[in-house]
């Protein structure tokens, strides 16, 4: 099988030696070309060119969720089709939500072994993806999450810290979330975001809106964070929102999204967070988030600046993944 390995040399949890060992292991079973990313968006460009040229059957992303997202957007630059190369992932970031949601080991060496075993036995899976659309800007595919409002603001703060030299850790995210909570006092009372869905009344005053393509939304260490526990690669998108973030209410919601979820007796899906200011929808194909003022926007943990209107759609069986 012909394959392209896209390597992020700045991946958080892999060293040069580890990446060399993984490359050697993959070359034992694949006709492998290797490309190292050199700038933001390079992984997308590499995957797009590989898909357009039809030179490879498989693209392997070695890096974190940001690298995976770029590769996916490159592979699907012309949209889903049978001609698009398969995707495989070797986790190298600090959290690796997408890889872990697929059931892959979080360790890159173990994940490489699992990948080679899947290739040997022909295991693959067609998964659904989300697509975010803003007028005048390129569409953006996402593998596990997108968000408008508070959560995207936290992502933006973390990226600022990383540019200043801070290492990406779970403690950094928690610290910046607490700081953002303190500074966003006005928006915590009444958010600027409205959820619009065909055939339903708009849901206004969202402080945050989290769109999930799978569950969990993210991890704190080994603990999954579950605002939309029923979200799945096999369904359309889930939406979780909060209309007011009081200290007591927020603490209660945080406890709920950190607990284990399972379907109640006779229930078709797992129960998610609930409360007076909680909004939750499961398996929604199309919807739009509209903000009264430009609000922070993120996809797969990558801050994309501020947006006033973003439409979303779920696309089932959009990509084939080696698992």
Per the listing, tokens 């579950």 go with: 226
Distance from C-alpha of 317 to C-alpha of 127, rounded to nearest angstrom: 5
**What is the structure's pLDDT at 187?**
66
Residue ranges of the chain whose pLDDT lies below 70: 185-187, 260-270
Q: pLDDT tens, 115-135? A: 999 999 999 999 999 999 999
- Give the tens place of pLDDT for each residue, 34-58: 999 999 999 999 999 999 999 899 9
- What is 2-122's CATH number, 2.40.50.180, 3.40.50.10330, 1.20.1050.10, 1.10.3720.10? 3.40.50.10330
| Location of each CATH 3.40.50.10330 domain in the chain | 2-122
| Architecture of the structural domain at 140-317 | Sandwich (2.60)
Decide: 69 and 302 in contact? Cβ < 8 Å. Answer: yes
User: For the whole model, what pTM was predicted?
Assistant: 0.92
How would you class 107 by CB atoms within 10 Å of its CB: exposed for 0-12, middle for 13-18, buried for 19 or more? middle
Start-end of CATH 2.60.200.40 domains in the chain? 140-317
Q: Is the peptide bond before 94 cis (omega within 30 degrees of 0)?
A: no
Cβ contact 285:236 at 8 Å: yes
């Amino acid at each position: 099988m012909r394959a392209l390995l896209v390597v992020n040399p700045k991946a958080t949890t892999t060293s040069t030696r580890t990446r060399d060992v993984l490359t050697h292991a993959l070359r034992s079973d694949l006709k492998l070309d290797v490309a190292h990313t050199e700038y933001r968006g390079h992984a997308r460009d590499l995957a797009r060119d590989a898909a357009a040229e039809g030179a490879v059957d498989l693209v392997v992303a070695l890096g974190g969720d940001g690298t995976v997202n770029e590769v996916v957007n490159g592979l699907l630059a012309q949209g889903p089709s049978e001609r698009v190369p398969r995707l495989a992932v070797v986790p190298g970031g600090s959290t690796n939500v997408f890889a872990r949601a697929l059931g892959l080991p979080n360790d890159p060496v173990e994940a490489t072994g699992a990948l080679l075993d899947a290739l040997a036995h022909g295991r693959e899976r067609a998964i659904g993806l989300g697509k975010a659309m803003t007028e005048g800007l390129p569409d953006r595919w996402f593998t596990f999450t997108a968000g408008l409002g508070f959560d995207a603001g936290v992502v933006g703060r973390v990226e600022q810290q990383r540019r200043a030299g801070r290492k990406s850790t779970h403690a950094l995210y928690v610290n910046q979330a607490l700081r953002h909570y303190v500074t966003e006092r006005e928006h915590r009372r009444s958010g600027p975001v409205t959820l619009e869905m065909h055939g339903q009344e708009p849901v206004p005053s969202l402080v945050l809106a989290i769109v999930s393509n799978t569950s969990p939304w993210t991890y704190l260490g080994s603990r999954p964070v579950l605002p939309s526990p029923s979200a799945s690669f096999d369904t359309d998108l889930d939406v979780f929102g909060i209309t007011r973030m009081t200290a007591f209410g927020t603490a209660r919601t945080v406890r709920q999204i950190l607990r284990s979820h399972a379907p109640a007796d006779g229930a078709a899906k797992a129960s998610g967070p609930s409360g007076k200011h909680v909004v939750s929808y499961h398996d929604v194909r199309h919807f739009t988030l509209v903000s009264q003022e430009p609000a922070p926007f993120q996809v797969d943990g990558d801050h994309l600046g501020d947006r006033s209107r973003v439409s979303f759609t779920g696309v089932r069986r959009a990509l084939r993944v080696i698992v």
